[in-house]
Amino acid sequence: MIFKVLEFLRSEIDEHLMSRFEVSESIAVLSNLVDRDGTPAANIDDKIVLTLAKVERVAAVAPPLASYRPDGNQSMLTEKTLPLNLSLLISATSKHYPEALKHLSETLTFLQACSFFTSENASKLPDEVQRIAVDLVDLDFQQLNNLWGIFGNRYIPSVLFNLRLVLLTRRDSADSVSPIRGIDTQL
């Protein structure tokens, strides 16, 4: 599911950038910035690189209780939701600093204008995703240093976004569960 969400955003950003800069070659890629051995990742030169920085379950927002359907002595557990936050680092890797800034600025402009995706406004949104909200994250210098230290790379022009999304799980199946008939308090 995470890959589908990030690939959806990459595609949306890429279509916008290709149109804006009137190029036929893809500009946005989904990639690490460095390989496991610490060398720069291949095929990211002169690109906008989307890199997953963190995944967290949203604990403060409890998913709604699953719905139950009576079915004889059994109840049917139907659709559940999973609220997640994804931290997404978007970096401009152009060797020409002004070009990197142009690509990054246009990416920012696009994500500020299109900061909420649903099936109503984004036909390519994966079926498992109910919605995606995109928020810019402010980082101080220490946080920025820590983030780039995690990636094992030197700083390049970049921004961090928080993606708030709700994933639908168990959409195509239902589990049968026995109803609670009482509470036993004896030890």
Contact between residue 91 and residue 158 where contact means Cβ atoms under 8 Å apart: yes
Residue 52 maps to a domain? yes
Q: Domain holding 30: CATH number?
A: 3.30.2000
Q: What is the pTM of this model?
A: 0.80
> Who's near 177: CB < 8 A, 6+ residues apart?
68, 74, 75, 76, 77
Which position has the token pair 């500009």? Answer: 27
**Residues spanned by the domain of 140:** 2-62+80-172
Residue 53 maps to a domain? yes
Backbone angle region of 94, left / alpha / beta, with phi > 0 → left and psi within -120 to 50 → alpha: beta
Residue 85 pLDDT greater than 70, yes or no: yes
Residue 166 pLDDT greater than 60, yes or no: yes
Contact between residue 166 and residue 82 where contact means Cβ atoms under 8 Å apart: yes
Residue 153 maps to a domain? yes
Structure tokens at 66: 């699953």
Residue 70 maps to a domain? no
Residue 179 maps to a domain? no
Q: What span, in angstroms and rounded, lies between the C-alpha atoms of 154 and 32?
A: 13
Provide mean pLDDT across the span 98-116: 96
Residue 181 maps to a domain? no
Which position has the token pair 């709700």? Answer: 166
Bridge partner list, 118 = 131
Please write the tens of the pLDDT for every residue from 171-181.
445 555 566 66
> Who's near 162: CB < 8 A, 6+ residues apart?
85, 86, 87, 88, 134, 135, 136, 137
Residue 141 maps to a domain? yes
Instruction: Please give the tally of structural domains in the chain.
Output: 1
Q: What is the pLDDT of residue 171?
A: 47
| Crossing angle between the packed helical segments 2-20 and 97-113, to the nearest 10 degrees | 110
For residue 119, how many other CB atoms are within 10 A of its CB? Answer: 13
Residue 55 pLDDT greater than 60, yes or no: yes
Residue 35 maps to a domain? yes
